[in-house]
Chain A
């Protein structure tokens, strides 16, 4: 078991024939992901990486039965691509693209919600179910099968956390990189209950950062709904106020969105919060013993 994606998930790639799309689609296929085709407007009818290329998502879905789309479309056009996927009946769009305008993502997400499509990202590493299905840009070899679910705003911290968890002999069920933009798709609050319901997941790691209040919402949700142990790390305890720390959403505005505020809320909800990401592996081992 796992959440959202597994070895049977059929995936198309939007922005299939571009350099990023090509490179990562190849990597995903090598990992075992069922990439069944892709979309590049104007290149319909061609074959790429041995898979069919379509002009529209609608055609791709009709021909392949894909339910998930991995989106590598450039920032200026990514909202368009996501809205197209929503109307074509895609169930989950994993948006890797970095640098999408906030206004565009607001519109695209609202449209996705209206059509019942889930989104992950943008500006994220994607989602991976260990040793089954990788939809994204993470190095697959780090994610060994196990019993820990992972939700993270940061790509490299996801790798760091997974690596530690694996070194402790525990492994990962599914890891979801939710992205660090101001407006994102699935977040802690939606993903936590999925891990709670997944029989193979025994503990959950959540990695957050400064900015916004998703971690605070998560804390409230955990307190009331999550029985499995949760380990958390909030990046940016040492970040100055009012400065954007790499991610578009990682900024403390005024006194809101600080690491301390989030840490306090999570601790009050019974979450084990570590002060350094170097402690994540050990903490997971501890909560599971």
Chain B
């Protein structure tokens, strides 16, 4: 789960991680009020969406008067912001964050992520602030300092020293400020079960302070049960409604841009099914894992969600029954055809536990549009042919 910049900064503040002062606004009026409350003569108006690259997309603007704050807020709220992370369809901006101006000397990058190979969190820092870290990693990897921190010992002085010397920060006072900043940020990461924290840019001010100008946080979904305060920050409008609805039924769904709907049990087999469709010359319309506890209701819901996608020309149901019994899936398909108007051909491959009973159920039901397949390859081939209208 991801949160907005203003929410991440709220968390930072609780932990004493320096951020500029700011107030979130839903309307231009609120934006002006926020600017007045913050005082000063320069403000930044920032679109709040869950995607990077907002500045380049025109979602972050500088205002030198409260009139300008109003003008920019009215432009940005309601705009469809397109960045390299939103995809071409962009994202609707519903909120802006009004922040005081900061005296920027130069910009750094600072992030914390899980290093899966080392099996511990790693702090990544770079002098190339403001740039995409992916790009820095590719073009000038020597400019990224990586310091893994074993949670068993926590953030120690030597971790801080590796960071400041690695970044070439030489001033004693600045070194101290940076180390404190990193230490507090690491505590945020651990305490909140974060999956990722990114500050890009982290700025050094003229007076040698370090301030988080931006903030991005993502959390481990499996740990949300112990963080109701984070769960409360969830912005449903940032999530794909189909994926969200699927999740409520225990289905794992990801929409893709192909033509063949997929309903599979198990994440690996679901990906493998997509790959096989591709291999047979078709294109998958979605990833859908019905999970280990599929019922007639969840299968029907799966069909409903798949069929909402107007590009779907055929559906491939690929189940290898282990814990999931095939007869239950077969009954689910029967139920689904009663509950949802399934207009496209459905290729069904049921193997494993109770596959014979399942085949019998489907055969006896004799539903139009349902095509039986013997194995994965056969099913994928038939689904591709059906999508092309050749079956």
Contacts and interface: CB of A to CB of B under 8 A. Distances in A.
B287 interface: yes
Interface string A250-264: 100011000100000
Interface in B131-180: 134, 137-138, 150-152
A38 interface: no
Chain A at the B interface: SS class: loop
B303 interface: no
A110 interface: yes
B268 A102 contact: no
Contacts of B271: 154, 209-210, 235-236, 238-239, 245-246, 250
Given A137-B322, A183-B119, A275-B279, A160 B287 contact: no
Interface in B265-292: 265-272, 274-280, 284, 287, 289
B290 to A, nearest CB: 10
A276 B151 contact: no
A102 B222 contact: yes
A212 B118 CA distance: 11
A18 B156 CA distance: 42
A262 B376 CA distance: 23
B193 interface: yes
B233 interface: no
Contacts of A250: 267, 271
B322 A276 contact: no
B320 A163 contact: yes
A240 B278 CA distance: 13
A188 interface: no
Given A76-B226, A163-B352, A217-B117, A157 B266 contact: yes
Contacts of B340: none
Contacts of A157: 266, 268-269, 272
A246 B195 contact: no
B268 A235 contact: yes
Nearest to A114: B152
A217 B151 CA distance: 24
A147 interface: no
B114 A238 contact: no
A160 B321 contact: no
Contacts of A125: 322
Nearest to B137: A254
A163 B270 CA distance: 17
Contact of B352 (A100, A137, A142): A142
Contacts of A21: none
Given A76-B225, A100-B222, A277-B276, A246 B117 contact: no
A65 interface: no
A212 B323 contact: no
Which residue, B120, B226, B269, has most C-beta atoms of chain A within 10 A? B269
A157 B268 CA distance: 6
B322 A278 contact: no
B235 interface: no
Contact of B322 (A103, A156, A242, A279): A156
A4 B278 CA distance: 37
B267 A180 contact: yes
A102 B223 contact: yes
Contacts of B85: 242
A233 B376 CA distance: 14
Contacts of B268: 152-157, 180, 207, 209, 235, 246-247
B350 to A, nearest CB: 13
A139 interface: yes
Contacts of A229: none
Given A156-B265, A157-B272, A137 B323 contact: yes
Given A103-B151, A103-B190, A235 B272 contact: yes
B304 to A, nearest CB: 19
Interface string A96-107: 000111111011
Given A137-B322, A138-B322, A183-B119, A236 B275 contact: yes
A103 B119 contact: no
A104 B222 CA distance: 10
Nearest to A99: B222
Given A213-B117, A246-B267, A160 B272 contact: yes
27 contacts: A99-B222, A101-B222, A102-B195, A103-B223, A106-B114, A139-B353, A152-B268, A154-B272, A156-B269, A157-B266, A160-B269, A160-B376, A182-B116, A183-B114, A236-B271, A237-B274, A238-B271, A239-B271, A239-B287, A245-B270, A246-B266, A246-B270, A247-B268, A249-B116, A275-B275, A276-B280, A277-B269
Given A157-B272, A160-B376, 8 more contacts: A107-B151, A154-B272, A236-B274, A237-B278, A238-B277, A245-B271, A275-B279, A279-B377
